[in-house]
Chains A and B, each alone.
Chain A
Amino acid sequence: MTTERTNYVRDSRTVRPLVTARLVRLDGGRLAIHAPAVGLWRDRPPIGSLVRPGSLLGRISLLGEDLALVAPEGARGVVVSAVGDKLAQHPVAYDDRLLVLDRAVAAGSSEDAAAASGEELSSGLIVRAPSSGRFYRRPAPGKPEFVAVGDVIDTGKVVGLLEVMKTFTRIQYGGGELPARARVIALHAEDEADVSAGEPLIAVEPV
């Protein structure tokens, strides 16, 4: 999250805390800015203004608390449309579209759109998520992780927890093509990450 000063604060008030808007890529090189919270949105940037990462995009009032709405990484372009033109403060829901940015209109927007996508993890020996859910690397917050890179593990070793519909299941190493004894070479899934069925969790190599 950035604290860069912006084009739109016209007085000297300091607005805190900050909340970063969500960025959605649209067809035709356009970008959409979506609300990161429920609330009343006001002081939105006018049509035609330039938005850069860190720009202030107005404020969202959540139960009377003002959150400064900040443009996220990669948000670069000129505001071409906005919701709620008639209202001084516009009620928005989470993930509502607030602004559409056009990058082509902005001069010097040369960054390439090809964001580094997650590399394919098709090769190698992989422990995969048995179903979709939330993955936990450790038995409890503050406890050490079940496995670390470099550990040598055997079939049956618990490598993580999976929370599906609020039920915790232990994920055990083994099965399929996996060798009975292996060394952990990479942890792919972050702690508390939402994973889908078959998603790689841990990469191993035979010992």
Chain B
Amino acid sequence: MSPSSRIAHAPPRLFHRLFIANRGEVAVRIAKACDALGITPVFAVSTADRGAAYTDGREVVCVGPGRSSQSYLDAKSLVQAAVQSGCTAVHPGWGFLAENPIFASLCEVHGLTFIGPPAHVMHLMGKKTPAKSAMGRAGLALIPGSDGILADAADAQAVADRVGYPVLLKAESGGGGRGMRIARGPDEVVPAYNDAQAEARAAFGDPRLYLERLIEGGRHVEIQILGDRYGGAVHFGERDCTVQRNHQKLIEESPSPVLDPAERERSLAAAVRAAASIGYVGAGTMEFLLDDTGVLRFMEMNTRLQVEHCVSEVRSGRDLVTEQIMVAAGHPLRMRQEEIVLRDHAIECRINAEDPADNFRPSPGTISRWEVPKDDPNVRVDSHVTSGYEIPPHYDSLICKVIASGPNRDAACETMIRALGELVCEGVSTTIPMHLSILGSADFRAHRYDTRTIPGWPPKPAKSAD
């Protein structure tokens, strides 16, 4: 038997035990992929999540107290917990340490496969300013701004004066809209710099900032990428995440209803080329701002699975988390680009435990009753919540994602409205009323919105009968 035929007949190798260094909804999502692949997941939990129902019947290791800096952000404790529980792979999920190259390196040093790109690629792309210059070299359009990290507030002032107002100060290690501030004039730069820095330090442990000209009225479009270790890369289409509040995505959909087909084709091909050019491995997302001239300008790359990956899963019929685990285990991509067929229109609503009627005040507490719509093939619900679940105050407020699909955008909206109407969540305030108002609004249906405005929210007062 020749060496090549031995390789060809070798059974696929995969991890037996996988450590989930995350919590809540994403931990449940990863465990589902593990179940599909026959891998035993081991959950990291903090004392605040120790009794949560989503870990029932699962192996858990308590890694620290509720405060995330001493549990889900404590790289050494997580790696030790993974090693001593016999795992050979670590999935970081999203948030927490998902884009931390030091954590990825620490995993590799201790014999654990990190489910994500190699640490050096993550370092390049996870840090925003080297990513910008690398993608600029790969031929993507960029947003004008600072050439790397700002030295101090005075530097910010100088760069802002050069690129022109308004400007956006962004955290180098940021994500999810935290550590960002807008300055509309010269006298706002220093306070914005200080505020953004304080928030970045608290949220990410990294106070470094950079600056870009703020493009107002743009739409947020992103491209889902999957790469393997052998230079292969494919895309799963784009997602439009324009409906945001304070840079926190509320609704994501695919395809983007306003993207020009020619610009879509060009950008998807360029994104795949760019991912391959940097040796990207695993699932990743390139985020763009669609400006008023219809050009997609590269903003940043998320070197991880994203919350809204389900939208692309629904359209492609592929499971991105299992594919991500497979390529991390060393398998080549299991599909070619032309085999990925994107069908229909898919919309995702993020349901947060916040009160939209009270300025989105976080609403931690106990969910007394929880029921999700069932038996509709066009509706998918991803959640870690059950009746009796207590939402801890330590973490973010996402409790559930609802994904609805249909042959076109309006059909998907109608399915979503019906599904949200059937979803029962008692005990805490949620953003469901806001989503219903958005989905039913003429502004949302007719694309009259951008990243600054939430279409259909706050609701207009009902018109009187006359």
Chain A contacts to B: CB under 8 angstroms: 37-40, 62-63, 91, 93-96, 131-134, 139-141, 163-168, 194
Contacts and interface: CB of A to CB of B under 8 A. Distances in A.
Nearest to A89: B84
Nearest to B81: A38
Contact of A165 (B76, B84, B198, B396): B396
A129 B150 CA distance: 36
Contacts of B362: 131, 133, 164-165, 167
Contacts of A38: 61-64, 77, 80-81, 84
Nearest to B248: A167
11 contacts: A37-B64, A37-B77, A63-B76, A91-B85, A93-B62, A94-B77, A96-B62, A163-B202, A164-B393, A166-B203, A167-B362
Contact of B197 (A94, A132, A134, A140): A140
B386 interface: no
Interface core residue of A139, A140, A141 (most chain B CB under 10 Å): A140
A95 B64 CA distance: 7
Contact of B64 (A94, A168, A194): A94
B123 interface: no
A40 B106 CA distance: 18
Interface in B73-97: 76-77, 79-81, 83-85
The 6 closest A-B pairs by CB, nearest first: A91-B84, A140-B198, A93-B62, A165-B362, A38-B77, A164-B362
A131 B359 CA distance: 14
Nearest to B364: A132
Contacts of B84: 38-40, 91
A104 to B, nearest CB: 29
A93 B79 contact: no
B415 interface: no
Interface in B337-368: 361-362, 364
Contacts of B65: 94-95
A57 B275 CA distance: 51
A91 B394 CA distance: 27
Chief secondary structure at chain B's binding surface: mixed
Given A132-B364, A165-B362, A166-B203, A93 B63 contact: yes
B113 interface: no
B397 interface: yes
Nearest to A140: B198
B73 to A, nearest CB: 12
B122 to A, nearest CB: 20
Contact of B79 (A37, A63, A131): A63
A131 B353 CA distance: 14
B431 interface: no
B80 A63 contact: yes
Contacts of B85: 91
A63 B361 contact: no
B414 interface: no
Nearest to B74: A38
B184 interface: no
Contact of B62 (A95, A132, A134): A95
Interface core residue of B67, B81, B106, B194 (most chain A CB under 10 Å): B81
B77 A165 contact: no
B178 interface: yes
Contacts of B418: none
B395 interface: yes
B77 A62 contact: yes
A165 B62 contact: no
A165 B80 contact: no
Nearest to B395: A165
A198 to B, nearest CB: 13
